[in-house]
A and B are shown apart, each in its own frame.
Chain A
């Protein structure tokens, strides 16, 4: 009788909360940029579990995860920072922290969430729990204290954040081991117009892609006293630069097997760099101007999507053969790709066809298509456990 009562009570409880107990390791969100909503997705059942609305202007939105994988912090273009509860599928907290924002990062210990802003230019650091403002780092750079747009924000070990100043041509490392007293180290004259940055998976090297000149600025964070240096300088020398219809994105997933794969700005090429010598070791011709160049988690493949007008294709590079082995057409205006944690599947968003397609990365078979409204970024909770995500 007692056990029957228990079963009934348990049933009633689960009926009240509406959901059974579950982990979040196979969950994620898909940004629906035009409608200001995110779809909560399950990469095991390949389905949409629900939608969360009211996140504001999500053009160029990105997300990072709490270390327990339950909460996503979504950074919106309009300066909104929204903490989303994936399990209860609701907004846990939301603030407007700036006028114009471009993304963010979460600290190594998971306690600090940092947002990088265009307007006013700088980085703001918040308590991950309450979203209370802890530190404000204005990106002032000239004698007139002009503020730069901030790009390429990434977390690195030691509760530090690294970012680049587009207008100033600088890379800054902010140490937040004391969360209310950031200590900033500045690397000046790193190159013209850094447009984005990435940290290698070990957290050691930070690379900022340059728009204003051919080359990549590189900082060895284990040896900051060496300063920043330029690699791949003049990679486009002697060739005509094509107009760039969308800025490429750099993220930590571009490093595989001792090589970094980087978009060549204004070219239909992926640059290959040896991460020991930092010399160019190859170039791989692709179908358009690369936007995302992402390694499958095991590093055997590199997936590439493209800027307008070639943005309805995705190409796959085999890292042993160092060439394109597959071209897919998932839909119109492919904006983002995300691998399942161990890389057996990839999810691809097609903005203009209002769908997310799921492919098997070994056979390239399409496994599912999910409806989404103008989908852009796809972010799985496995990011919670990775440096630079």
Chain B
């Protein structure tokens, strides 16, 4: 099976799960710490540690304000073809992507260690 058809299937699957995902609870504290680290460090290699942008655009509340949360969630999970943004759905659930988008829009937490 090709990656493209995988992505379509994944998108359909996510669409079906949409209402559930929106109501999903926050990740457990340990997992939340991992996700914060992943966003700051791994997303940060393109978007900057402070999320102020780099090769990828800034991910600050001001820059995301006008963008619908759902499209941001799909960008995180499925990537953006034609740009360097890769899909992250192998490393997080849709509920976790949703949580990340909410955090980004509200002002992303710093890493605690």
Contact = CB atoms under 8 A, between A and B. Distances in A.
- Report if A and B associate in a common complex: yes
A285 B86 CA distance: 22
B1 to A, nearest CB: 10
Contacts of A246: 42, 45-46
Nearest to A118: B54
A57 B49 contact: yes
A150 to B, nearest CB: 11
A290 B51 CA distance: 24
Contacts of A149: 55
B52 interface: yes
Do most interface residues of chain B lie in helix, strand or loop, or is the interface mixed?
loop
B55 A118 contact: yes
Contacts of B44: 59
Interface residues of B, number: 22
Given A211-B84, A243-B87, A244-B84, A118 B2 contact: no
Contacts of A374: 41
B41 A57 contact: no
Given A34-B111, A333-B41, A166 B55 contact: yes
Interface magnitude class on chain A: 20 to 34
B22 interface: no
B48 A60 contact: yes
A33 interface: yes
Given A240-B2, A240-B3, A245 B42 contact: yes
B110 to A, nearest CB: 10
A338 interface: no
Contact of A57 (B2, B50, B79, B82): B50
The 8 residue pairs across chains A and B that have the minimum distance between CB atoms: A59-B49, A243-B86, A308-B42, A246-B45, A245-B86, A59-B44, A77-B48, A57-B50
A195 B46 CA distance: 11
Given A149-B55, A240-B2, A100 B48 contact: yes
A9 to B, nearest CB: 48
Interface in A32-76: 33-34, 57-60
Nearest to B46: A247
Nearest to A333: B41
Interface string B1-17: 01100000000000000
Interface in A153-212: 166, 193, 195, 211-212
A139 interface: no
B81 to A, nearest CB: 10
Contacts of B45: 59-60, 246-247
A351 B52 CA distance: 21
A241 B86 CA distance: 11
Given A57-B52, A149-B55, A308-B42, 4 more contacts: A118-B53, A240-B3, A247-B84, A352-B37
Contacts of A234: none
A78 B55 contact: no
A102 B54 contact: yes
A119 B84 contact: no
Contacts of B37: 352
A372 to B, nearest CB: 14
A309 interface: yes
A351 B111 CA distance: 14
Max chain B CB contacts within 10 Å: which of A33, A212, A243, A247?
Answer: A243
B112 to A, nearest CB: 12
Contacts of B84: 193, 195, 211, 244, 247
Contacts of B111: 34
A190 to B, nearest CB: 18
B89 to A, nearest CB: 10
Contacts of A243: 79, 86-87
